[in-house]
Structure 1
Amino acid sequence: MSGGLGKSVCIIGAGALGLVATKNFLEEGFDVTTFERNAYVGGLWHHTKDTTQTSAHPATRSNISKQGACYSDFPYADDVSIHPTAKEQQMYLESYAGHFALHSSIKLSTSVAAVERDDARRKWVITTKPTNIIDPSVEHHAFDRLIIATGTNGKRTMPVFAGQERFEGQILHSQQFKDASKFKDKRVVVVGLSHTAADTIQFLKAAGAQKVYVSHKRSPILVPTTVKGKALDHGVTRRLTFIGALISSVSPPLGAYMMEKYLLSLQNTTWPALKDHPAFATTRASPSVASSVPTMSATLALNLLDGSAESVQRIDRISGAQTVQLVDGSELPDIDAIICCTGDNFDISGLVPAEYDPTNAAFAPDEFSAFNASAYFREDYPVPRLYRNFLSLREPHSLAFLGYSLYRRPVFALYDLMTMALAQLWKGEFPMPSRLDMEANADKHYTYIVSELQNGHVNHNGLTGDIDFDVWLNKAAGTQLYERLGWGRDGWKLWWGDRKLYSMLMDGVDSPHAMRLFETPRGRKSWEGARAAIEEANAEVEELGKKWQEEQHAGKAKVAYD
């Protein structure tokens, strides 16, 4: 075991991240206890009416396909939608917990009241209390290692509008938006143009809102969830990812330019009329593809184009009891509600001691000063200093944070891989990087974010496009994916000996099952069903393409006949 520590692990949170961490650490022989404040697993995919918790609306759909969004050794059921609904996601996570017998390690309805460090014993002391008892008593537990898997959806990012005290309508955050039917016949302003805003607009429309305005400062890059009958992610092959990463490694600006051109071509090909729409006017700021996530939506473009949602400038002030004034001087009258789809934040304030808080400026004053001095600095968007965006610099052998990192890999698959790698690190099967290397990695990410903040707002401070991040995770986890698909002996051996498999891995669906495919001398456990699952995923996607082509031919034939 790394650091001379024991194998007891505390995991806080049993959402999508905490569940996969629980499973992967149990699999490697650790003694795991996971605390979850709710009476259920699944985190935000379980809809709740609690307005203090972020949860998916029942009508929400995943932007990623079921072939790409699954865990590495647990495919979705055959009858699940290509883009799973929130309910299907919740059922998937519950099935995952049941299949791998995780419930015996999870303490539901148990909140973490405090986290302390006992340096003498080298233990994390966790104070918990039940959430389903009126006057609960607290319990204290000691663990060798701690994983905080509460994600980034803890603290609302909420704007404050000048004059909002005079507003007689509702001002709420999307976290509080639980029942769209309450806005039937209402005039609503939606603030922001993110995934959440796109869904909120659609839900308001379906509920019969009288008028929906969408107030935003920047024009988004809007991409469809489906292209030619297939999910967008079905076309993002591993070969294309490798080529893009190679270009970016040689010239980051060229890589960003090519990515932007690709995304804009998707947008303009799918919805040509958007080029002339006010939401995409050249007078609006444009996001950097290097530090922002495109808005994926099947409904937003249509709602903008048909007038179901009217794009307006950002809010300047509340000028009356029901009047909103915009920065261009125009006013929106008779407004009943303002819904702020302005995101949530990585927030562990008050959870871990200050000396272990990765957002504590005292431990890297020069770096934090540069961040604070950047042109688009926002105090409510902290940048934690972590190795690879998840491992504590102060206690790398015993403290990790899940939820801050964002990479081109779907979230479930990313954190599956990340916790495989973390388990190998803490098990002592993969060498812990030196303190110097970890500091350098954290500094590199900080420098990158600061440089991006000189040019515009960064909508996710944990986003990285560096393929070295993925290479390191795979190497630490022991998947051997890069070795088997590279130019070395193992790569040529697979290419020569099993051309069909090699082609599927490089040019087919980028399936998470590939992370469990190869039997390797070290690292995570392989899964004997991986190849069959990869083949099935590719067959399903091929069938989707054929079905779309048949529908296109049938449609053309009907037009010709008519």
Structure 2
Amino acid sequence: MSVSLPSRGGVNSAAADLDGVSAELNDSRRSIYMQNCFFGCPCLGSDHSCVRFQPVENGQRSTNSRRCRPGLDIVQQHQLAHSTNLATGVLGLVAVKNLVEEGFNVTGFDRNDYVGGLWHYTDEDKTSVLPTTVINISKERGCFTDFPFPKDTPSHCTSAHVQQYLESYVEHFGLTKRLRLGATINEVKRDDKEDRWVVDVEGTGPEYFDKIIVATGINSRPHLPTLQGVEQFQGEVLHSRAFKRPELFKGKKVVVVGMGNTGADTAAALCGVADKVYISHNHGALIMPRVVNGVAFDHTMTARKAAIMGFLELNFPRFADFLFNTMIKKMQDKAFNIRPEWKLSPAPPVKHAVPIISDNLVDLLEAKQILSVVGIKLVSGPREVELDDGTLLEADAIIWCTGYKTEFSLLDRSVDPTRHTTPAWASAIGSRGKPLPRLYQNMISLDHPDSMAFMGCVAFATGAFPLYDLASMALAQVWKGKSTLPSLEEMNRSVDRQHEFICGIAKDGSAAPGWVRQAEWVSWANEAAGAGVNEHLGWGLTGWKFWFQDRAFYKLLMDGIYTPFIWRVFDGKRKSWDGARAEIERINAEAAARKKVKKTN
């Protein structure tokens, strides 16, 4: 999905291959007041924002905004822009909602005729969940920051529950009238002469916008490794994106390639249908159950623990990695007996491969319904593959569960943030040909920070819903002018540090391009969004005052379930949610009651 802000020409469009939101400035030349540097441009005939070394009066001509931004204070406007959302997956929906909340008049576009993105099951060759998919993160920790799941929804619910939740989200926040479904975006480019974004919508032609958010997501372009001899294979070869109906593999011998969450779910779905199911992998893996001793495993994470881990991550990164991986390994070993013959140990660190969340994988391995084997070396015959250890396997199908690449192909080369890939990344063994964008905080374009941003390029160990809710909250405040960006030089240095960090991970093993230092990124997003969490739970005057006045709630926030509602509790720049405190108290009370029942039994 992408978010863009159209200019005075208006929005005629249909919708997109991108997820996106765009906003169009009001036509009136004097409808906007100057906040740091804002001008009504007499030559272009409309209001435009500009950042330069000194403020200018309304009506004066501006210099090129890309060359004059020492501090990048983005203007605030009386009537904020008409926005277009290209593809209404999770990232796009929450970006639309948070921009609308700040006064942007947003329109959402999607090539699909439904909202929800991959959470909407479809038989078509599109990325989607299976009907049997169960979420890996609990609803208490995996929801949006101001919209809980229904109370009667299971803590680990199905994909159908999530799809219904997203549709309810759209209805609750009145987003339906802002969405235009069933359209395709062919290209996005910059018109520097007009200082606008040009979005080519299939069937209607070009449309013009002031700002654009590209939010196509991380699951848009399948990653297909090269396999020697695959041209002679007479069986079926497909990516997990095309795996929709397990019954089509009845009686077949299937090799599932990739020991991750998708690989585990795919292999499990084939059990009882296929004749043999192999799961092939080049490295080990950690396996976690969704529930440990009757408690969702992610409920054990608290704000206090996150703060401690964040301190260690920033100051003692190696020790932090060791401690985190040791904790996960201990939880795994307490829940499961991992047999040596499965070749799952030693597992790579979490920064190289996130744990598999599965309640049945170990049982299926124990029952030999899934056979764990090493990686595939080559195709050795029409229906045969050779493994890295020389073993030959009969195979009727190969299913690649090897992930995706973030999609940037709709962007003109001049605005593609991956066009100058860091050489160290390209040469790292863990990069695997994936693009690495140069984006401030893995979100904001360095070429056009006041008008172009990306959703889907930030990753750490948390749920996507609250992560991109916070991300788009932060972006909305930056573009509204309530929060500022550093100078271009400082932003470039920040990106260089991030690339050095991710290249250091990639040189030793697999790495997600969007992986960030969680504590550092969350601290920035909290400040930019104006959520007030760090201030109220920190050691400053605000924190001590909050602790003194409301100690019970302070303790609940620090040591209770680390819910997304924490980002909407306190007043600040972004809109708070009046129901946040009550929801936090309710969730923790219910969790405590379940623990009490568990102990009694």
SS at match of 1:31: strand
Three-state SS of the structure 1 residue aligned to 2:343 is helix
Give the counterpart letter for 1:531 in structure 2. Answer: R
For the Cα contact (< 8 Å) 2:87–2:112, is it kept in 1?
no
- Given that 1:228 and 1:545 are in contact with CA atoms closer than 8 Å, whether structure 2 keeps it comes out as no
Deviation of 1:543 after TM superposition, in Å, equals: 2.7
Q: For each residue in 1:516-541, what CA deviation from the matched residue of structure 2 results, as whole angstroms up to 9, or x when unmatched?
A: 11123xx1111111111111111222
Q: Secondary structure of 2:437's match?
A: coil
Q: What's the counterpart of residue 319 of structure 2?
A: 254
Matched residue, 1:128: 201
TM superposition shift of 1:258 = 0.5
Q: What's the CA shift for 1:406?
A: 0.9
1:248, distance to aligned residue in structure 2 (A): 1.8
Quote the Cα distance in structure 1 between the aligned partners of 2:101 and 2:205.
27
**Equivalent position amino acid for 1:140 in 2:** P
The answer as to whether partners of 1:393 and 1:438 remain within 8 angstroms in 2 is yes
| Alpha-carbon distance, 1:98 to partner | 0.4
Give the alignment of 1:394-405 within 5 angstroms: 394-405=447-458
Residues 353 and 3 of structure 1: is their aligned pair in 2 closer, same or farther, counting only changes over 3 Å? farther
The one-letter code sitting in structure 2 at the alignment partner of 1:187 is: K
Paired position in structure 2 for 1:406:
459
Equivalence for 2:156: 83
The one-letter code matched in structure 2 to 1:72 is T
The corresponding residue for 2:141 is 68
Aligned residue number for residue 399 of structure 2: 339
Q: How does 1:214-233 map to 2 (within 5 A)?
A: 214-233=279-298
1:114 paired with 2:173, answer no
Distance 1:281 1:202, change over 3 A: same
The aligned residue for residue 354 of structure 2 is: 293
What is aligned with 1:176?
Answer: 242
CA deviation after TM superposition for structure 1 residue 292, in Å? 3.1
Q: TM-score scaled to structure 1, two decimals?
A: 0.91
Counterpart-to-counterpart distance in 1, 2:211 and 2:555 = 41
The offset of 1:239, in angstroms, is 0.5
Are the structure 2 counterparts of residues 327 and 369 from structure 1 closer, same or farther at C-alpha, using a change threshold of 3 Å? same
| Superimposed CA distance per residue, residues 282-336 of structure 1 (whole angstroms, 9 cap, x where no aligned partner) | 5xxx423234322221122222222111111111111111111111111112x21
Match of 1:558 in 2: none
Q: CA deviation at 1:245?
A: 1.1
**Distance across 1 between alignment mates of 2:372 and 2:460:** 30
2-structure distance, mates of 1:21, 1:71: 12
> 1: CA distance between counterparts of 2:310 and 2:353?
17
8 Å contact from structure 2 (residues 300, 561) kept in 1:
yes
Counterpart secondary structure, 1:69: coil
Of the three residues 242, 245, 250, the one matched with 2:307 is 242
Shift of residue 405 of structure 1?
0.6
Gaps (5+ residues) in structure 2? Answer: 1-48, 50-72
Distance in 1 of aligned mates of 2:594 and 2:142: 17
Q: Distance in 2 between matches of 1:182 and 1:339?
A: 13
The amino acid of 1:248's aligned partner reads: E
Question: Deviating runs (4+, > 6 A) in structure 1?
Answer: none
Deviation at 1:140, TM superposition (A): 2.5
**d(CA) in 2 for partners of 1:482 and 1:3?**
24
Residue 134 of structure 1 corresponds to which residue in structure 2?
none
The alignment's C-alpha RMSD in Å is 1.6
CA gap 1:466/1:100 in 2 versus in 1, 3 angstroms = closer
Q: Judging changes above 3 Å, is the alpha-carbon distance between structure 1 residues 211 and 275 closer, same or farther for their aligned structure 2 residues? A: closer
TM-score (norm 2): 0.85
> Residue 37 of structure 1 corresponds to which residue in structure 2?
111
Deviates more, 1:117-126 or 1:504-513: 117-126
Instruction: Give the equivalent residue in structure 1 for 2:16.
Output: none
**Deviations for 1:479-529, whole angstroms, at most 9, x for unmatched residues?**
100100011111111212112211111000111111111123xx1111111
Q: Percent identity?
A: 39
Among 210, 220, 227, the alignment partner of 1:144 is 210
Amino acid at match of 2:144: Y
TM-superposed deviation, 1:281 = 4.5
* Alignment map for 1:170-209 (pairs within 5 Å): 170-206=236-272, 208-209=273-274
SS in 1 for 2:311: helix
- 1:503 equivalent in structure 2: 555
Residue 581 of structure 2 aligns with which residue? 531
Structure 1 or 2: larger helix share? 1
Instruction: Select which of 527, 545, 548 maps to 2:598.
Output: 548
Q: How far apart in 1 are the matches of 2:155 and 2:476?
A: 31
Query: In structure 2, the residue corresponding to 1:518 is in which secondary structure?
Result: coil
CA offsets 1:227-285 (integer angstroms, 9 cap, x no match): 111111111111111111112222100000101101110111111x2052432255xxx
Q: Secondary structure of the residue that 2:168 maps to in structure 1?
A: helix
What is the alpha-carbon distance in structure 2 between the residues aligned to residue 3 and residue 429 of structure 1? 8
Instruction: Determine if the alignment matches structure 1 residue 46 to structure 2 residue 120.
Output: yes
Equivalenced residue count is 527
Amino acid at match of 2:84: C
Instruction: Give me the whole-angstrom Cα distance separating, in 2, the residues matched to 1:269 and 1:324.
Output: 36
Instruction: Tell me how far 1:547 sits from its aligned partner.
Output: 3.5
Counterpart of 1:309 in structure 2 is 370
Q: Secondary structure at the match of 1:248?
A: helix
**One-letter identity of the residue aligned with 1:500:** A
Is the 8 Å Cα contact of residues 277 and 305 (structure 1) preserved in structure 2?
A: no
Q: CA deviation at 1:347?
A: 1.5
